[in-house]
Chains A and B, each alone.
Chain A
Amino acid sequence: MGREYAGAVSHADVARNAPCPCASGRRFKACCGSVIVEVGASLPDEVGDRLWRALALQQTGRLNEARALYEEVLRENADVADAVHMIGVILLQTGHYRDALRYLIRAAELFDWKFAAAQHNLGLALAAEMSGGMDPATGQLWQAYDEMLDRRRATRRDAAPLISVVIPSYNHCAYIESALESVFMQTYPSVEIVVVDDGSSDESMSRIRSTLCHSPFPWVFHARENVGAARTINESVALSTGEFVNVLNSDDRFAPSRLINMVDAVTRRGESWGFSRVAFLDRDGHAIGAETSLRAADLAYLTDNVGATDTLSFSFLAGNPSISSGALFFARKLFDRLGGFRDFRYNHDWDFCLRASLLAEPVFVASAEYDYRLHSRNTILESTADAQREVDAMFTGFLQHARRAGDWTNPFAPVPEIWGDRFFEQILASGRACAIPPATIRDLARRVMARRAPEDV
């Protein structure tokens, strides 16, 4: 919420079917007006008109006038969910979290918990009321986590396991040679390469064969019809024999120090998985800095944030800071326990990390050990809506999993049994209220509202 129009909007401009004043090119009802959902369905036109007018006022920052109009609607019919919802949003916008919570929980009930925007806003109000420092239990967990990091840094074991580099190849003939050569240049000696071509229709296969002839490491190459990235990675891992595995996507590259540094940070510390920062390349292989690419800047920001969250595992609740499956480095045992990557088109790596975080705390390698190529054919760019639906499904499944007691082995796993309300606070603040059952949200809200309200003294 809180979206602002470019300029002042008169009431006449905001008829439902008029072009949206925000200049999106869509109709108002399908754009900034889409938060009003009851009009045309169950409300009289006259009420609907007042709601649209109120929304226009709200979206131009005239919050007091907007609230007065919503309240006018509610005086005639106290069950108009849109009006209740929008007053809650105004209260949230102005920092009245407790009052916002009261309105938004009622709005969610009136919408029968079927309007995602209302639940999202309710989640934000609830997270705001829940936050505000640290309770003693959370403080102890934070300190225990830091102590674990200290112990980890002090640990060093002699280990030089075989690392399997698995390469799912798909229509990247322009990049596959560069990808393979980046493995050949690894300074770590104990490596095997497994390439599975996922039904490429370009010259990938011939280039893979000719390049592998120069490999200093043992290799396996398999080709078959297209089945998708997640299944291809799983098949590649099944063909490999290494104790640890690193995926390399066929349009990306390893830094020469990647495997030695991942072994040093993960394996030699007795840990089972981790990920490194990524550097960004354009399609010609030139480095892209955060200062020249908005997308690179956003992704770099996401990765920088890993040190800001409660734990590394918590960072996966807000996004996928590993950026690519190729940035991951994991033990085969962990992979087997997880049953490999699940068949998500856009987020199989994020889903893998979320599930892995229940079993073991990851390690982050701050140096950029993976070159991620940004180009127009990155799968994640295909459909934002589809990707979002996939994220919603992924989180719903994750939360069901996280709430099952004893299903995890990471002592800092992001689960309610360890973190209590702090876990829900983070989920809600991440905008994922829809993944939490209404009964849980009601219970959290009831407990928050039971606290003493501030007094005017």
Chain B
Amino acid sequence: MVPVDCSVVVALNPHHNDLALVLDSYVRQAGTAMSFEVIVVDGGGRDEADRTYRHHRRRFSRTPVRLLRIDGIGRAAANNAGARASRSRLLLFVGDYFIPAPTLVRAHVEFHRNVLRGAVAGIGPSFFPDALRGDLFRCWLEDSGLLFGVPFRLAAAHWPRDFFYAGNVSINRATFDRLGAFDDALHDTGDDFDFGLRLREDGGCSHFLPKAVAWHDHALTLSERADAVRYSGARARRIIARHGEIAEWVKFIALPLAHFATDVADAEERHRAAPDATTRIGCYQSLMDLAFAEGFNGVGADVEQMTASVRGQ
């Protein structure tokens, strides 16, 4: 197989976004002097994947996209399968609900051309498009940094060098393999966080790549997010057991559940007294804290029963 400059791996999750739009956007990547492939890994959660891909191939016969079908696997295993199938020394993992800007792949490739050390990841931002950002909840979720772990709009001013997420990240394959890839056992939550901690322990770091823009094509709702946060809370114990040092970061969840419920009631009271964006956001925040604590304490969060759409958000 002819090697390429970059292998993009897109693990499909059970989302409801426009997959055709995602696939087509990879055909429009800029950079004629760069070669890349896109490996879309369908773990069985997207019924329309085959049909959408065939349609895409008919319209773009020279598409860089290929589809791998492996039933019954989560995001971590799907990303690992894509990495194994790649023919590049540079891996780029991109979320399946992200529409890459034309400069995305090139930005990652160019960054790694200038970096000699292996344990360095390039991280691109994801932003809600204006049409979705017009909603206060989504705007707050993005700007507070709670959605992915950092507020990308402040990334140029302050970048936490140990930040890592699987949404839009490149890393050389040798380092990825040496660190043991994503942990299949973590399925679809915390797998990237866990990998990031291993990268950090290895002396690695990440850089923010402003040109690697991806558009977050997901009209995320409050209830969807609460479900996802509850699911993360349920999975958190496993991550804490593995990386004890993070227990300090989430020690607030040791508080009794009643504390979080009271916070929600207080926030709603404040909003009733002064209904504005600030007090509304106070409600969002307290609801998210409650959902995480519920998940952590096994309340209202039967992980195995949770709807598939919650996963991998």
Contact = CB atoms under 8 A, between A and B. Distances in A.
A149 B143 contact: no
Contact of A301 (B137, B205, B211, B282): B205
Interface in A391-435: 425-426, 428-431
Contact of A133 (B102, B112, B213, B278): B213
Nearest to A97: B143
Interface stretch (A232-240, A305-313, A338-346): A305-313
B217 to A, nearest CB: 13
Given A96-B278, A146-B106, A305-B207, A364 B114 contact: yes
B207 A142 contact: no
Contacts of A367: 116
Contacts of B298: none
Given A304-B114, A456-B280, A431 B157 contact: yes
- Which of under 10, 10 to 19, 20 to 34, or 35 or more describes the interface residues of A? 35 or more
Contact of B156 (A99, A143, A426): A426
Nearest to B275: A456
B251 interface: no
B19 to A, nearest CB: 22
Given A128-B157, A308-B122, A146 B31 contact: yes
B54 interface: no
B49 interface: no
A366 B115 contact: yes
B129 to A, nearest CB: 8
A224 B165 CA distance: 57
A304 B117 contact: yes
B210 A308 contact: yes
A277 interface: yes
Contact of A124 (B110, B154, B215): B154
Contacts of B145: 95
B209 interface: yes
Nearest to B141: A95
B55 interface: no
A304 B115 contact: yes
A132 interface: yes
Q: Which residue of B31, B102, B211 has the most chain A CB atoms within 10 A of its CB atom?
A: B211
Interface in A182-241: none
A84 to B, nearest CB: 16
A116 interface: no
Contacts of B231: none
Given A133-B127, A133-B215, A124 B157 contact: yes
B311 to A, nearest CB: 25
Contacts of B116: 277, 366-368
A128 B153 contact: yes
B111 interface: yes
Nearest to A2: B158
B4 interface: no
B140 A95 contact: yes
A134 B213 contact: yes
B151 interface: yes
A452 interface: yes
A286 interface: no
Contacts of B203: 290-291
Contacts of A129: 153
Nearest to A312: B114
Nearest to B33: A150
A4 to B, nearest CB: 13
B103 A456 contact: no
Interface string A259-298: 0000000000000000001000000000000110000000
B30 interface: yes
Interface in B198-250: 203, 205, 207-211, 213, 215
Interface string A76-108: 000000000000000000111101000000000
B277 to A, nearest CB: 6
Interface in B82-120: 101-103, 106-107, 110-117, 120
B219 to A, nearest CB: 11
B208 A456 contact: no
A120 to B, nearest CB: 10
A360 B88 CA distance: 33
Contact of B32 (A128, A150, A368): A150
A97 B215 CA distance: 20
B135 interface: yes
Given A307-B112, A455-B136, 8 more contacts: A96-B277, A139-B103, A146-B103, A306-B114, A308-B209, A367-B116, A454-B133, A457-B135
Interface of B: 30-33, 101-103, 106-107, 110-117, 120, 122, 125, 127, 129, 133-140, 142-145, 151-157, 161, 203, 205, 207-211, 213, 215, 277-278, 280-282
5 contacts: A64-B282, A128-B153, A131-B156, A150-B32, A304-B117
Closest 9 CB pairs of A and B: A307-B114, A95-B143, A95-B144, A429-B156, A454-B139, A150-B33, A307-B111, A456-B136, A429-B157
